[in-house]
Homo-oligomer: A and B are copies of this chain.
Amino acid sequence: MTKIEMNNKYWVMRSMPEGSNFSECFELKTENYIELPKGSILTKNIYLSMDAGTRMIMTDREDSYLPPTPIGEKITGTVLSEVVESENPNYLPGQKIRSWGQWADYSIIDPDTMFPSLVDDSEIDLVNYVGILGANGWTAYVGVTETGRAKKGDTFVVSAAAGCTGLLVGQIAKIIGCKVIGIAGTDEKCNLICNDFGFDGAINYKKEEVSNRLKDLCPEGINVYCDHVGGPIAEAVYENMALFGTIAISGLLDYYSSSKRSPGPKNYDLILMKRLRVEGFFSPDFYHREKEFNPILKNWVNENKIKLPFQITKSLEKLPEAYLKLFEGGNIGKVVVEL
């Protein structure tokens, strides 16, 4: 353990959020030294990735896919950062890495458990490594091609379509050759995904009756649905699935914010009636496949086939507002905090 004197501002969990009261539950603190455990790396954070999925480590649920952040502890998430001190020969000061880290000025990274990965920003902006070339990009790629098994000619629907993963999912489904319909919560988002991102149609679920609109837009039935929200939108999609369709679930935003369990879709029995496949998947299960995914994704970026807008908050202090955007429909594309 090496003690390093330095100022570090960091966010801790004051209490578990109920709903989206993050500003009450997150507390900004300052420490004036860091203890770096043997084998670990100290990095200066450059970008903090805001991800709705991390809401699941802010609950007391025992059956979440990740263990909860203990009260009083630093809040964690994916970070892009530069190594400043290293007790590990594989990581050298000056190198940039993407890793699990802390919502703080600095991250202490245990390479054995926190998935650090060296990144090369010589040809592409660093921030892309928490977007197209990070967990969102891999989730979108796996969701469309592997879990979703989308094929040319399929009718494809994605929810939270203007969010980071949703935008990438829709663009990849277009590359595969699908007809792509996005579901989002504002007219601005609906216009954007059709006009700037090549979607074939959009539904504003706050203004339109989703099931009827899907019937109009997808009279042939939906072959693949990438679900990021669950709840009533998922029910409307179930209603319009084609026989032998696939529902690939990588997010269930409607379930994250409540400590009470939401019910499953009331038309759950359509899984049998329509012989559907409903499958959950989760990016940490394929972090180890970065070297397989990123060359494909980089090519698509270079060929102008996929792009991603960023919403950048340039202040650690304003992190709770940036994070809240993910739960209140305030984001288009990737939300990051830049330090």
Partner of A272, one of B65, B261, B263: B65
Q: A230: which B residues are within 8 A, CB to CB?
A: 268-269
Distance between Cα atoms of A265 and B250 in the complex (Å): 18
Q: A265: which B residues are within 8 A, CB to CB?
A: 263-264, 268
- Contact, CB under 8 Å: B264 / A268: yes
Q: A262: which B residues are within 8 A, CB to CB?
A: 266, 268-269
- Contact, CB under 8 Å: A275 / B266: no
> Which of A7-15, A127-135, A181-189, A279-287 contacts its partner?
A279-287
Partner of A275, one of B56, B264, B269, B280: B280
A288 at the interface (CB under 8 A from B): no
A64 at the interface (CB under 8 A from B): yes
Nearest 6 A-B pairs (CB), nearest first? A264-B264, A264-B268, A272-B280, A271-B280, A255-B269, A278-B278
Partner of A271, one of B56, B64, B239, B279: B279
Chain B residue nearest to A234 (CB atoms) is B268
Distance between Cα atoms of A274 and B65 in the complex (Å): 7
Query: Using a CB–CB distance below 8 Å, which chain A residues touch chain B?
Result: 56, 63-65, 230, 239, 249-252, 255, 261-282, 285
Q: A281: which B residues are within 8 A, CB to CB?
A: 275
- Contact, CB under 8 Å: A63 / B273: yes
Partner of A269, one of B261, B269, B273, B285: B261
Partner of A261, one of B252, B267, B271, B285: B267
Given contacts A266-B264, A268-B230, contact A278 B279 (CB under 8 A): yes
Distance between Cα atoms of A25 and B271 in the complex (Å): 28
Q: A274: which B residues are within 8 A, CB to CB?
A: 63, 65, 280
Known contacts A249-B272, A275-B279, A275-B282; 17 further A-B pairs (Cβ under 8 A): A56-B273, A63-B239, A63-B267, A64-B273, A65-B272, A65-B275, A249-B271, A251-B272, A261-B267, A262-B268, A264-B267, A268-B268, A271-B280, A272-B282, A275-B280, A275-B285, A277-B280
